[in-house]
Amino acid sequence: MAVPKRRMSRSNTRSRRSQWKATAPHLVECSNRACRKPKPPHVACPNCGQYDGRQVIAPA
């Protein structure tokens, strides 16, 4: 296992950590014509409860 021989400087540590960015979640609109709310892809709509044109969960 690799073990660093020297301590990494604060500027190097911070410049490396500056590349860690959170990405916004990708959203698509619900396929239900009455709903059309944004939802994550490949997930049942939390608003109307439909997935792929079928009712899969009770609407909220």
9-38 residue pLDDT tens: 999 999 999 989 899 999 999 999 999 999
* pLDDT exceeds cutoff 80 at 39: yes
Backbone torsions φ then ψ of 13, nearest 5 degrees: -65, -45
List Cα–Cα distances, 32 to 8, 12, 16, 40, 56, in angstroms. Answer: 53, 50, 44, 14, 13
What pLDDT score does 10 carry?
Answer: 96
Is the pLDDT at 1 greater than 90? The verdict is no
Taking residue 39's Cβ as centre, other Cβ atoms within 10 Å add up to 21
pLDDT mean over 28-49: 95
Q: In the prediction, which pLDDT does 59 show?
A: 78
